[in-house]
Amino acid sequence: MRFEKSYSLAKWTEWNSSLAKTIDDFYATYSFYPNILEANRYTFSQFDFLINMIPGEKQKLYRMDELTNKRIEPQEMEEVSIFSYKSDFGSVEFAIDEDLGDKEFLLIYDSDPDWEDGSINENPVEDELSFEIFKETNY
């Protein structure tokens, strides 16, 4: 089973709250939470840029240590990249679709996603740490 819906961002600086609102809209439309967000590389690069430039944004990030299962938060001076968006409902994995324009993205629920084509955006920029971002609750 697969559902998808197109969205666009009005302002780059509001991407986090816009994403939270569109996830809620997707759920209201389909009664399923999305598990994939598709956008082009430039859109994802802007998310990363804003995370690294806006004070306080990195405090919303963490990654899990695979051996200890402990949360690791980024250091203030680290350049980071995000690869998924977490919330109480689960997680939305990022995937690249270069056919989408800047600021455009698709939210998708796919009960059986096929990642064999390598489109998942695991770590798009070399030498950056990948982290997950939590859903912003104050919007």
Residue type, 71: R
Model pLDDT for residues 79-135, shown as the tens digit of each residue: 888 888 877 778 888 999 999 999 999 999 999 887 655 444 443 333 334 455 544
Measuring CA to CA, how many Å separate 32 from each of 24, 25, 58, 85, 86? 10, 10, 28, 16, 15
Token pair of 122, please?
A: 């695991």
Q: Is residue 64 part of a domain?
A: yes
Q: Is this structure's pTM higher than 0.85?
A: no
Structural domain total, the chain: 1
Instruction: Tell me which residue range forms the domain holding 129.
Output: 2-134
Q: Is residue 139 part of a domain?
A: no
Q: Is residue 10 part of a domain?
A: yes
**At which residue do the structure tokens 């666009």 appear?**
8
